[in-house]
Chain A
Amino acid sequence: EAQVTQNPRYLITVTGKKLTVTCSQNMNHEYMSWYRQDPGLGLRQIYYSMNVEVTDKGDVPEGYKVSRKEKRNFPLILESPSPNQTSLYFCASSFYRADTDTQYFGPGTRLTVL
């Protein structure tokens, strides 16, 4: 089944403890992206990747890192999480570009930073 998977789905952590949220797609998509969703603010793009080894900042990249070493995986790294990073995170992918192809979203990861 074609899908975008994220792990973990739920995570409660403490300030400063490094964490990684994994994202994987099995559709051979070139474009992958991370978003965070907060009440009243909609979806905000954190980072995106047009292809392997190519990543760019979205609207809210501060406090996050990403890497794209393989086409299928696009992990989101929080080196030193803070409470203002408590949010619902979505990974998404599209075949070529977000402006020409449908984005498929993962199920979301609900992160709480205490």
Chain B
Amino acid sequence: EDKVVQSPLSLVVHEGDTVTLNCSYEVTNFRSLLWYKQEKKAPTFLFMLTSSGIEKKSGRLSSILDKKELFSILNITATQTGDSAIYLCGTSYDKVIFGPGTSLSVIP
């Protein structure tokens, strides 16, 4: 059965901390690894990763994929309260499979 696992499921940090969110997958078909951020509304796109070892960056966020070990990480440096959200990891081939999400709370 295809599955995407995220850890931790929930995380509370202080502003300025650096966090690492983990995503591992076990799927029959794979083309890309997706990261989305969900605040109190619809998910918004963060990253799409297709190649191993190539880091993608957007401001304080970065992500990397390891296709051999079947996992990805999302790093957020110097966290801010605006980073508080659910972070969703998923895999895509034609079908999309998401994990349960990591709920991040950043407190002042």
How many chain B residues touch A (CB < 8 A): the figure is 26
Given contact pairs A102-B45, A103-B45, A108-B41, A42 touches B88 in the complex (Cβ within 8 A): yes
Q: How far is the CA of A106 from the CA of B95 in the complex (A)?
A: 18
B97–A99 touching, CB < 8 Å: no
A98–B92 touching, CB < 8 Å: yes
Say which one of A19-27, A43-51, A67-75, A76-84 lies at the interface with B: A43-51
Contact of B95 among A45, A90, A103, A105 (CB under 8 A): A45
B98–A44 touching, CB < 8 Å: yes
Chain B interface (Cβ < 8 Å from any Cβ of A): 2, 4, 6, 31-32, 34, 36, 41-45, 48, 50, 88, 90, 92-101
Interface residues in A1-55 by Cβ distance below 8 A to B read 33, 35, 40-45, 48, 50
Which A residues are in CB contact (< 8 Å) with B92? Answer: 97-99
A48–B100 touching, CB < 8 Å: no
Chain A interface (Cβ < 8 Å from any Cβ of B): 33, 35, 40-45, 48, 50, 56, 58-59, 90, 97-100, 102-108
A99–B44 touching, CB < 8 Å: no
Which A residues are in CB contact (< 8 Å) with B100? Answer: 40-42
A43–B43 touching, CB < 8 Å: yes
Contact of B96 among A50, A58, A104, A106 (CB under 8 A): A58
B42–A56 touching, CB < 8 Å: no
